[in-house]
Structure 1
């Protein structure tokens, strides 16, 4: 059987916040959730989608960190910033094309999803994927995901740059890459908060 991977299927998200709560309760997260839900207005309806680190093959957050506090493991997981190396400069917050890192002023540190590395590195599912009732967050093999509707992609086009990631997004069948419109990019000013709102 193939190696298990992380998949996000926004069409399955029901906005229950189970993933957010489970992340906060993870033993190594000290009560802080490293995942949050975004609300997207689509015509007359509202859609929620979980936002987790996409674990880029060439992570911009790590590249701009002057303290070398963000590491990428040999198996492709981009770790959250490490104390005491993290100096709270927020370079990573502004560099991430997916709007994932959050600055927590209470501890003067950047926080983000680390794919529950303490669990996934020993073959267990991330906490969020364990509790998601609709499997909007799914940790499994390509063979398992092939049984679902849609196709997984891990290539995202931002202008002239294509970013590939360890985490895949489920999209309509036949889609090979996702082009992100400039007006759809998360406003960076929304990411730099003095307090976290997703606790």
Structure 2
């Protein structure tokens, strides 16, 4: 089994409720966000005679660790602190053996592992394993007011949602094979 996330970015308003819920649940320091909502905007206006047409766009993406099928953070961790659970596919960091070298952060194209400056070790999304053990949703999923963030077994999610694994602002998915489905905004492709 491989757990993963779905983000329906085509409807996301960028409210950051998922980001805040994650930050609160993990009690992260300022600047340490395991889930990040980023808004992308662009386009402009073109004059055609006496009128203007536009191709203005804005869309938001909510991204955390993608619990990749081939996580570079695990492969490049010299202490073995970064691990992929063979039962769930969840990639986590054992902070008791993390040496704070940052190799995992350098290896991850998504910026998922992040340093906790106070403790000197890395942290990242752990899929709210404690909540899953109680049959509860991850904090980010539960917090989404528009219900646009989902989780589950990645192959089931890929069958259920007609989405893609990446968009033009994200790294090549062939690098790590992320467990992520995006239902993209039309301007993100």
What is the TM-score normalised by the length of structure 2? 0.72
CA 1:89 to 1:133, structure 2 compared with 1: closer, same or farther past 3 Å? same
Give how far 1:5 is off. 4.9
The equivalent residue for 1:40 is: 40
More divergent stretch after superposition (99-108 vs 31-40):
31-40
Distance in 1, Cα, partners of 2:106 & 2:131: 28
Q: Which runs of 5+ in 1 are unaligned?
A: 173-178, 180-199
Q: Deviations over 1:16-41 (max 9, x none)?
A: 11112211232xx2355521212222
Matched, 1:55 2:55: no
Matched, 1:130 2:142: yes
Matched, 1:86 2:98: yes
The equivalent residue for 2:8 is: 9
Q: Tell me which of the two structures has the higher relative contact order, counting C-alpha pairs closer than 8 angstroms and 6 or more residues apart.
A: 2
Q: Deviations over 1:139-161 (max 9, x none)?
A: 25737973x6x33548x9839x4
Please give the root-mean-square deviation of Cα atoms over the aligned residues, in Å.
Answer: 3.3
Instruction: Answer whether contact 2:72 2:107 (CA < 8 A) is retained.
Output: yes
Instruction: Answer whether contact 1:153 1:171 (CA < 8 A) is retained.
Output: no
More divergent stretch after superposition (115-124 vs 15-24):
115-124
Instruction: Answer whether contact 1:52 1:113 (CA < 8 A) is retained.
Output: yes
CA 1:12 to 1:110, structure 2 compared with 1: closer, same or farther past 3 Å? farther
The equivalent residue for 1:25 is: 24
Give how far 1:170 is off. 2.5
The equivalent residue for 2:90 is: 77
What is the TM-score normalised by the length of structure 1? 0.69
Distance in 2, Cα, partners of 1:65 & 1:4: 22
The equivalent residue for 2:47 is: none
Structure 1 runs (4+) deviating above 4 angstroms are none
Query: Which structure has the greater CA radius of gyration?
Result: 2
Distance in 1, Cα, partners of 2:3 & 2:135: 9
Q: Which runs of 5+ in 2 are unaligned?
A: 44-55
Distance in 2, Cα, partners of 1:52 & 1:143: 17
Instruction: Answer whether contact 1:12 1:135 (CA < 8 A) is retained.
Output: no
Instruction: Answer whether contact 1:77 1:166 (CA < 8 A) is retained.
Output: no
